Amino acid sequence: MHTDDTDFRTRLRAAGLRVTAPRLAVLDAVTAHPHSDADTVATAVREKLGSVSIQAIYDVLHACVRSGLLRRIEPAGSAALYEARIGDNHHHLVCRSCGTVVDIDCVVGSAPCLEPGHDHGFVIDEAEVVFWGLCPNCRRPGGENPVYPGEPVPGRVAAEEASQ
């Protein structure tokens, strides 16, 4: 998905942020490459603008997250990842082997889609769900479990038994 520069300018202004070349480049990079870490965003921004410090990239990412233009997700064992898909209730599926992240729409619809047994006085506005598994590329038929060598690939045994 590519959003044009005019839309980014409008969104930055609506969020109360100044329109700058680094902000436009970061929004473009995250939109073009969802679930990217700061280093990946920095590489894309530098390809577009030339020399930009990693601190400037982090500053822009944090400003955009605070203002609601980007979402930061932090799957366990991973660097913070950024995405431009905001304003809906979706979750993430992460490959245990290669780290690929994909969006999963919530079947419930509205946020939060889970309710705790006790809210301890909190006003809950979001539930973050991360599903873990092996992507099709890492689930090699008849191959070894790339995450836990010597163990069966999760889901493969049940699928193979069901097909017999």
Residue 2 and residue 5: Cα distance in Å, rounded? 9
| pLDDT tens digits along 89-144 | 788 999 988 899 999 887 766 655 667 778 899 988 777 889 999 898 888 766 56
Nearest to 59 by CA among 47, 45, 48, 73: 45
Tell whether residue 64 is among the known ligand binding residues: no
Q: Which residues contact 12 (CB under 8 A, 6 or more apart)?
A: 18, 19, 23, 24, 27, 69
| pLDDT tens digits along 61-75 | 999 999 999 999 999
Dump the DSSP string for 134-146. --TTTS-TT---S
Residue 37 and residue 70: Cα distance in Å, rounded? 12
pLDDT for residue 103: 92
| CATH number, span 87-139 | 3.30.1490.190
Cα angle, residue 118 at apex, residues 109 and 92 outer, rounded to 5° = 35
| pLDDT tens digits along 76-98 | 888 999 999 987 878 899 998 88
Confidence of residue 156 (pLDDT cuts 50, 70, 90): very low
- Sign of the Cα torsion 110, 113, 119, 122 reads negative
Nearest to 15 by CA among 52, 62, 72, 49: 62
Residues 127, 112 contacting (CB under 8 angstroms): yes
Q: 3-73 has which fold? A: Arc Repressor Mutant, subunit A (1.10.10)
The rounded mean pLDDT for the chain is 84
**What are the boundaries of each domain within the chain?**
3-73, 87-139
Tell whether residue 95 is among the known ligand binding residues: yes
115 or 11: whose pLDDT is higher? Answer: 11
pLDDT for residue 7: 93
Sort 37 into a burial class: Cβ within 10 Å, 0-12 / 13-18 / 19+.
middle
